Amino acid sequence: MHRPISGFGNVSSKVVAEAAGKFGTPLYLYDEQLLRKRCKEVRAMPSAFLFSPRYAMKANPNKAILQVIAGEGLDIDASSLNEAGIFK
């Protein structure tokens, strides 16, 4: 029986098993729908000082992930020229 994995959006044990079989392990799986939802939640947070939310790409510089985050309206925070070059 393949069950949902608690706290991981739409990722189920079946999805994990299929991805591991196809790509090997270790691997990272991301739920794009959940990522977009979280970005919207961050943008909806009140800001007394008119700050704009930023994602520190040092946390995960995967270009596809950065594109989703930027597409949802969060700014990308690059702390070096190398990081800035990754996400143009």
This prediction has a pTM of 0.77
Task: Express each pLDDT in 71-85 by its tens digit.
Answer: 999 999 988 888 888
Q: What tokens appear for 28 in the block?
A: 């990272």
Structure confidence by residue, pLDDT tens digits, 20-61:
999 999 988 888 988 999 999 999 988 878 888 899 999 999
Q: Mind spelling out the 3-state secondary structure of the chain? A: CCCECCCCCCCEHHHHHHHHHHHCCCCCCCCHHHHHHHHHHHHHCCCCCCCCCEEEHHHCCCHHHHHHHHHCCCEEECCCHHHHHHCC
Query: 57: burial class by Cβ within 10 Å (0-12, 13-18, 19+)?
Result: buried
